[in-house]
Structure 1
Amino acid sequence: MQNSETCSSPHLVVIGGGSAGIGVIASIKKRVKNIAITLIEPGDQHYYQPAWTLVGAGLYDINKTRRPMADVIPPDVAWVKSAVINICPEDNFIVTAGGEKIYYDSLIVASGLVLRWDKIAGLEETLGKNGVTSNYRFDLAPYTYELVKNLTHGNAIFCQPGMPIKCAGAPQKALYLSCDHWQKQGCLKNISVGFFLAGQAVFGVPEFVPPLRNYLQKYQANVNFRHNLTRVNGEKKLATFTVTAESGDAHEVTLPFDMLHVVPPQTAPAFIAQSGLGDANGWCEVDKHTLQHVRWPNIFSLGDCCSTPNAKTAAAARKQIVVVAENLQKVLRNVIPDSRYDGYGSCPLTVEKGKVVLAEFGYDNQLLPTVPLNPARPSRIAWWLKAWFLPRFYWAGMLRGVEWFAKSKSR
């Protein structure tokens, strides 16, 4: 047990050792010297998840996407290797799964989201076999490529659940890269490719829909809107979707598959809502610009777990890190936090090997390009960024407090 009243310096607790949590600790340590920081994170590995779509296409080494957690935590940070089960914002302490009570002066919630494989009946017992895979898991991304390599004819189904999900472009990136491989092998004409979306649009930002639609047509993919995967029979290789009409009427359709790429529904960690920090949907409720909690001024949140209506991507966390670091520093100085997040998110849509549509946008679908390129045109420069530069910058830069192209705005 640690009580903040006994500390000679402010005590900051950060929940979550993912991209947002590690990155924000590094940026805060650059700005605030006299601060004690405790990280609460149960996992012993840290992952660079954006590369898993490349792994699923045989274009990246899975082992390069993982490093020991101890190697990425900034120095002089206390690490509590446990999960959080409750936060008591009235009394400024959290409770871990091990029963430890940890007090804080300031709190940052960066716990990520939860992949709900359990919400699709029959899925968990067939993942990683029977042709069922997902690039959303470290151990399954290599299996995706194994399936792609071995499939020469049959039915390939790619699914996308309802929003919000992290990296909303990842479900279709799996489709594009698989089809690119099959096309180059000369077997795409023998494979029936289906893209089944719970939503009603290929992509949420209208400017990027035309080039994506062109690639779906190029790969002869059959696009099916309002289709939500609800059940999988791995042994019989059958996928069942609930189809919702515009009238609201729903019915089921069951389709055979030889390869099924699944993206699970995703929710906020339960402790956020149970602690009274959540919005109506359970996400940590913050001001969408300052990232400060709407009811508790000594609490901030960023990354996939917070309530901001932006694309949940590592690129979004990169911008949010600076806003939280600056605003926390101001709160510690009793200054009104005025650094603002503009909703920036980036989704490098890998439409084929060597070409990427670099979708960069903020709140209200405003385009926010970093580089002077036509953002809707597939680019080899964007591919270089996705496949070579960004992974290296992630480990050597973002996790160490380097804030290139991440300047915040102010009121």
Structure 2
Amino acid sequence: MMQAYRMSLQVNCSSRLCVQLLQAACLSTTTHNNTKNSYELVVVGGGSGGCATAAKFSSRLGKGKVVIIDPADTHYYQPMFTLIGGGMKTLQNSCKPMSKVLPKKADWLKQSCVEFDPDNNTVTTEDGSKISYKYLVVAMGLQLNYDQIPGLLEALNTPNSGVGSIYSPLYVNKTYEALQQFKSGNAIFTFPNTPVKCAGAPQKIMYIAEEYLRKHGKRDGANIIYNTSLGVLFGIKKYADSLWKVVESRGMTVNTRRNLVEVHGASKQALFQNLDDPSDTTLTDYEMLHVTPPMSAPDVLRSSSLVDANGFLSVSKDTLQHTRYSNIFGIGDCTNTPNAKTAASVAGQVGVLRRNLSAAMSGTPLHAVYDGYASCPLVTGYSKCIMAEFDYNGNPLETFPINQAKERRTMFIMKKYFLPDVYWYGLLKGYWEGPALMRRVMHLGLKK
């Protein structure tokens, strides 16, 4: 996931000032450990999955046996970006210097990975160095492809354009600015025709925006529109049913199978395509436009021999081991496991990866199985949240012995105040492996 933001930063930032502001916000540092050319374990990517994996195995293998390859100065807690877009948190609240979150016993190679050579057990970095490994974990996250929508980058980089996106640290503040500047007209929120990280976020920011406009006396003049490429509001029926009630009670419009294909910033219009009839396009005026960009695995991974036909790291959905190279594992959003791509999914995968990679290192069979656990705290405003939890099959896998499909203030408090600490001090340090144990306790051992 950090890789995705780094690539967004390189491609989309129009000036060095953007980079300087982001680095200053988190007091970033470029200091890193000395590295060598051969390691027991190489971890490519310093996001949540990479940090957690490196923390676990550098503690087990000892100092100097594990290296993390990632060029970013700053690590972001991305689930907070939705709250930042609604003015409830700041960008500074969401980040820490990378040097402060990476495990001290692991080396840090502050470089981009530019090539994988799994047949020779090496990766190549941007300075031409070849790093060899016995085992490799790929944790590169997703790449944000804002440039695939003509006119979007120009609109995002134009002051007071009304266009924002909570998916990038470059544009998340523009979302709140657009809310504050909104007068009347269409407020449009989009979901692209690609896999995305945190599939609930595109509508979470919509619910927050709607409540903001109500609180500030602008709701009567606003048309709230959600244009999604999907055929449903949310993929898990139990929670979708609750979300439809929220949408209907608050007078929002949902258009399914609608994909954003172009932005006309000068005229404040967005072009949408009907995915069921590609010849059918609609040009819609907007006062505010929130864009969820198309996403993919990073280009360097997509161009390697490690991916499936769709360009994602090819791993067993059960064991997280690569389907062709037994000494390679994957974790997080860059893999082709068919789960929702969320930070909670990474937590659910961490324990499976720990057990199976340890087994591979000791030459024993891999027994740990990932059940597809994912969680999406569906924030529906400034004080309520639906806490969706589910598995590979779309079955609810709820931690608490209550109906989590109901909007609750307690779940909002957990999302806003409790989960960030779980992330920084639990997941990144390798201690938090998801709520499975807590779920069994809460349900008196009657659930997984």
**Contact 2:422–2:432 at 8 Å: present in 1 too?**
no
Matches within 5 A, 1:167-246: 167-245=198-276
**2:397 counterpart of 1:371:** no
Q: Distance in 2 between matches of 1:112 and 1:366?
A: 25
**Contact 2:261–2:273 at 8 Å: present in 1 too?**
yes
**Contact 1:277–1:285 at 8 Å: present in 2 too?**
yes
- For residues 243-269 of structure 1, the C-alpha deviation after alignment (integer angstroms, 9 at most, x for no partner) is 133xx4532110111110000110111
Tell me how far 1:2 sits from its aligned partner.
4.9
1:251 corresponds to: 280
**Contact 1:370–1:405 at 8 Å: present in 2 too?**
no
Q: Distance in 2 between matches of 1:376 and 1:76?
A: 42
1:317 corresponds to: 346
SS in 1 for 2:234: coil
1:11 corresponds to: 40
Amino acid at match of 2:228: L
2:168 corresponds to: 137
Matches within 5 A, 1:328-339: 328-339=357-368
- For residues 183-236 of structure 1, the C-alpha deviation after alignment (integer angstroms, 9 at most, x for no partner) is 222321110111101111000111111111111112211111111101001111
Tell me how far 1:79 sits from its aligned partner.
1.0
- For residues 329-361 of structure 1, the C-alpha deviation after alignment (integer angstroms, 9 at most, x for no partner) is 111111111111100111000011111001101
Tell me how far 1:61 sits from its aligned partner.
2.1
2:380 corresponds to: 351
> Could you state the TM-score of these two structures normalised by the residue count of structure 1?
0.94
1:390 corresponds to: 419
Tell me how far 1:13 sits from its aligned partner.
0.2
Amino acid at match of 2:188: I
Amino acid at match of 2:180: K
Aligned with 1:149 (options 180, 199, 203) = 180
> Could you state the TM-score of these two structures normalised by the residue count of structure 2?
0.87
Q: Distance in 2 between matches of 1:76 and 1:33?
A: 7
Tell me how far 1:91 sits from its aligned partner.
0.7
2:15 corresponds to: none
Amino acid at match of 1:96: T
**Contact 2:190–2:292 at 8 Å: present in 1 too?**
yes
**Contact 1:24–1:322 at 8 Å: present in 2 too?**
no
**Contact 1:2–1:101 at 8 Å: present in 2 too?**
no
**Contact 1:2–1:103 at 8 Å: present in 2 too?**
no
- For residues 301-320 of structure 1, the C-alpha deviation after alignment (integer angstroms, 9 at most, x for no partner) is 01010110000000000111
**2:79 counterpart of 1:50:** yes
**Contact 1:15–1:41 at 8 Å: present in 2 too?**
yes
Change (3 A) 1:146 1:249: closer
Tell me how far 1:168 sits from its aligned partner.
0.1
SS in 2 for 1:304: coil
**Structure 1 unpaired stretches of 5+:** 5-9
- For residues 48-92 of structure 1, the C-alpha deviation after alignment (integer angstroms, 9 at most, x for no partner) is 000010011111122010111111110121111111111111110
1:295 corresponds to: 324
SS in 1 for 2:337: coil
Tell me how far 1:33 sits from its aligned partner.
4.2
Tell me how far 1:274 sits from its aligned partner.
2.3
Change (3 A) 1:371 1:16: same
**Contact 1:322–1:406 at 8 Å: present in 2 too?**
no
Amino acid at match of 2:270: A
Amino acid at match of 2:407: P
Identity fraction in percent: 38
Tell me how far 1:407 sits from its aligned partner.
5.3
**Contact 1:12–1:35 at 8 Å: present in 2 too?**
no
Q: Distance in 2 between matches of 1:150 and 1:125?
A: 19
**Structure 2 unpaired stretches of 5+:** 1-34, 441-448
Amino acid at match of 2:249: K
Moved more, 130-139 or 27-36: 27-36
Q: Distance in 2 between matches of 1:219 and 1:189?
A: 11
Q: Distance in 2 between matches of 1:193 and 1:159?
A: 11
Tell me how far 1:139 sits from its aligned partner.
2.7
